[in-house]
Structure 1
Amino acid sequence: MATSTGPGSRLAAFGNQLIAVHLWLREELERLTDGLDAYLDGEAERPRELRAHCLTFCSAVRRHHTEEDDSAFPALADEFPELRPVLEELERDHHTVADILRRVEELLDGLHEGSNAQDVRNELDGLAALLESHFVYEEKKIVSALNELTELPGGVVIQDVMRQQDPH
């Protein structure tokens, strides 16, 4: 994908970056679910590896949502007041996701102590459904507005935030 060096190109890239981060998080959740399925089937995954992968994934989701709540959403609310109800709904989703992530981590902690792996799978299924709905809604409602921003609170330039959000 070719990018121009004009000011608008960086902004459009930020909207694309949001979508790219969402795609990466979907892939990571699928990998985590696949690892849990392998564990349920008696294959290679062990609770320690599942826990490590979960911590990595959970941390990435939390970091992504924190950056949205602390930087992108306030900037959008200032620039596009009509988006405030959407942003508030997205923030509520972030809290719900955080609760599910905590439950998944707690359940994975207990796997070696006889916790039911199917309970983890059920939580991951709920998380996947919520995140998919959340990501689609967020992309539909705010990507174009994000593409119009030039700065986030504190004078942070969008290009700098893009580097911080890079999932790789």
Structure 2
Amino acid sequence: MAPQHGDRAVAFSLQLKQAHQELRRQLATLRTGNPGTLTTHCLAFCAAVTAHHQGEDAGMFAELLRLRPDLEGTVAKLVEDHEMIAGLLTRIAGLADGPSTDSIDGLAAILESHFRFEERTISAALDATPDTGWSASVFEFRDATGGPPS
């Protein structure tokens, strides 16, 4: 659960890592799942990643840049990554025969690289960032079935 405005129980850098761990867990479940449910679970996973990145772009990054304009280049790179990943997610979701294991494996590699870069480059600044209401869209997820993560 994300902290409420002004009630930060956990440092935001740790919450970001936990959010990425949840996405990694969902992706691992997707990769080992039943081929008959792969398309449905893939669409749900793609939606979770998209919502997470939109929350970062619209909320977290805006707050970071307001407080730390020196992070402009890093944030621009992360937003560029998000745009590239969104394109991949759209292509994977639009595959007529459903996603292939190769496409899922490729997405996993790209996401892992992105998550590690993001965690490494903005963690300290993120811990000093106030929550103006942006945290829920970045840190709260649903699992591949649309329910809360187990």
User: Shorter-chain TM-score: which interval?
Assistant: 0.7 to 0.9
Q: Does 1:73 align with 2:58?
A: no
Q: 1-side partners of 2:9 and 2:76: how far apart?
A: 23
Question: Which segments of structure 1 move beyond 3 Å, counting only runs of 4 or more?
Answer: none
Q: 1-side partners of 2:71 and 2:93: how far apart?
A: 33
- Unaligned runs of at least 5 residues, structure 1: 1-6, 36-43
Q: Which residue of 1 aligns with 2:93?
A: 105
Change in Cα spacing, 1:138 to 1:150, as seen in structure 2 (3 Å) is: same
SS of equivalent to 2:8: helix
Give 1:10's aligned amino acid: R
Q: Does 1:96 align with 2:84?
A: yes
* Sequence identity percentage: 36
1:164 CA displacement: 6.5
Is the contact between residue 15 and residue 146 of structure 1 (CA under 8 Å) also seen in structure 2? yes
Change in Cα spacing, 1:126 to 1:86, as seen in structure 2 (3 Å) is: same
Q: Which residue of 1 aligns with 2:101?
A: 121
Structure in which a larger fraction of residues adopt helix:
1
Q: Which residue of 1 aligns with 2:31?
A: 33
Is the contact between residue 22 and residue 135 of structure 1 (CA under 8 Å) also seen in structure 2? yes
Is the contact between residue 17 and residue 119 of structure 2 (CA under 8 Å) also seen in structure 1? yes
1:166 CA displacement: 2.4
1:70 CA displacement: 0.1
1:11 CA displacement: 7.0
Q: Which residue of 2 aligns with 1:39?
A: none
The partner residue of 1:146 within 101, 126, 137 is 126
Report 1 or 2 for greater relative contact order, CA contacts < 8 Å, sequence distance ≥ 6.
Answer: 2
Give 1:157-168 correspondences, 5 Å limit. 161-162=135-136, 165-167=139-141, 168=149
Q: Does 1:45 align with 2:19?
A: no
1:45 CA displacement: 3.0
Is the contact between residue 12 and residue 147 of structure 1 (CA under 8 Å) also seen in structure 2? no
Cα deviations by residue, 1:47-92 (Å, 9 ceiling, x for unpaired)? xx21110111011000000000000001111111111100000011
Q: 1-side partners of 2:121 and 2:106: how far apart?
A: 22
Is the contact between residue 62 and residue 98 of structure 1 (CA under 8 Å) also seen in structure 2? yes
- Unaligned runs of at least 5 residues, structure 2: 1-5, 142-148
TM-score (norm 1): 0.73
| Larger CA deviation: 121-130 vs 87-96 | 121-130
1:29 CA displacement: 1.1
SS of equivalent to 2:94: helix
